[in-house]
Structure 1
Amino acid sequence: MNLINQPIKINQYTIKNRIIMPPLVCFNWADTDGFETIDRAEHYGKRAKGGTGLIIVEASAISEEARIVREEVGLWKDEHIPQFERIAKRCHDEESVVIVQLVHAGKAAIGNPVYSSSRIELEKKECLEMPLEMIKQVKKDFVSAAIRAKKAGLDGVEIHGAHGYLLSQFTSKEVNKRTDLYGGSLDRRIQLSLEIVKEVRDAVGDDFIICYRLGVNDPSSEEDKYFAKKLEASGVDVLNVSAGIGANDIEVPDDFPFNKIVYMGTVIHDVVSIPVACVNGIREPEQAEYLLENNLTDLVAVGRGLLADPEWTNKAINGLPINKCYHCKPRCKYLIDGRDCPRYSELS
């Protein structure tokens, strides 16, 4: 048995191997009311059938105002539950564990004005400091979306605290200039994330996975370690380590064979006891095996590799060649519409 194929326990669930499909937004695959227009059960079901142990469904909005783009799947009302029920059933039929990422985009959200941890100068829309009453509502929205995810039969949720979205805007001292209980010291800047984790846990119970998408170098690598330990203590079951607002300033040792985001994942792995996933630019089975062999991470998130080849995990486990991502230039065509990806037409 290679290390990719070793099972791992997260909460009450046994993940059959170490490969995760990270949350990858399917742009233009939903309408403006949060409903899918392209079958997500088929999309994620293919990757589950291809052997992937843990599927994280793409960023799903906790409210209409929280959306990253207008055509984004939602979990802000009960009518959204059936589309996630279909995803859950399809993935469970293939013995994959499946959770959904919950997001509030903050200053990156649609609409005008938008709200962030602090007032921010934007070119095309006004960004205001989020008042306390709105923060209370955001917490309620995360909890309500998590409850809907559980009703849909999903195995957990991932709370999005990376990529410069709302929770990342609160943890970052570059963005957060508040003077109240959510600003100033590190403990205050991370308070909102910890409150959301606690309130979600109280609402969904102990047997539901809570993953946190941790944005690294928000505000520094040393403070990331502190925050990671706090998240573990608050009830988070697994950390999915990705880019934060200050990620460009990370220094990587010369002998480390991966990029700065993967490196910070390995740093976080060393300071917590819960499972940690590394992500970003990991496309080859040999890369995943290297990270696991050297005890640098517990789980490996393979993004574009799984878009290019739904059978990536089974092929990696069995030593078979994978269909490689074409690395389209000047940018990934999937970021416009998944159907534009050259691999999509090959797989249809």
Structure 2
Amino acid sequence: MGTQGTSLDSASRAVEHKAFARVGLLGNPSDVYYGRTISFTLGNFWASVRLQPSEELVIKPHPTHDLVQFRSLDHLVNRLNNEGYYGGVRLLMAICKVFHNYCKDNKIDIHGKKFTLSYDTNIPRQTGLSGSSAIVCAALSCLLDFYRVRHLIKVEVRPNLVLAAEKELGIVAGLQDRVAQVYGGLVYMDFSKEYMDDLGHGIYTPMDISLLPPLYLIYAENPSDSGKVHSTVRQRWLSGDEFIISSMIEVANIAKEGRKTLLEKDYSKLAKLMNHNFDLRRSMFGDDALGALNIKMVEVARKVGAASKFTGSGGAVVAFCPDGPPQVKLLEDECRKAGFIVVPVEVVPSCLNAEEL
């Protein structure tokens, strides 16, 4: 999978994988509307999962993210307000179930040995960087290697397994994030209905990460206003709303055009496409659904002439400064004034081997 930091300790036979945060560069949220997207994996943040053979099957709680012991009632409430009710244990359990059932349904023989799964993550919560799916993706990679079935589960099917595990938990999402994290690097994705109906997945085309210009990630340290991002758009699309349908087609076409733009390294055009992507999302979802804090992040970047859009459904923004370092300095100053964190994007290349691709 597009996980990295993979190791196989010959003495203990432990398996460890990393899966990185992802940035939706163009085309989101059309992935759940038979559209197209371009995404890449973000080396700044990742989740890691370790699988250790053991006498019993154990899912280890994380000492911070799955905290069950508190100093006081105030501590418990503050923890829930900041981190929510759920850590990563449920994610690990869900992918174990989905993996087991997939292997059983497809007559893939997996031995009866048991293991202990543990995880860690530094992906900021509620930033739209796909922190949950990163944990699931890294865990799936560990299971593939532990049971030696990587060659039996096609790479284009693996994002479906990651998504299925999250759906077990009621997490509403599309395939884009999981494809990016499974493949790693920069990926163009086509989720056209004919592919989804005939194949059960889209057509995924890796691209050279050197095609990307320098990009910047903007996010809030304590996101509190994420909005109800998908709002009524899904229902309106299903009901045949012409505005939503035509707008979503336009968003998907931005990714198609963006692929050509990247291949030609036409970065002034890229900036226009990024801005147009966000403007279309805003016209469909409305400001109340997107959330004031999220919109402010975009507007802070645009204030200095940078192109900007959501990395996902809100919580973080990807920005591009077409005018170079002086504009980057202005962006950093404005973000600091607004209380936002801004960091240069580190793009992680795919580590899939030639056989998997």
TM-score (norm 1): 0.30
Higher relative CO (Cα under 8 Å, sequence separation at least 6) belongs to: 2
Specify which structure has the higher proportion of helix.
Answer: 2
TM-score (norm 2): 0.29
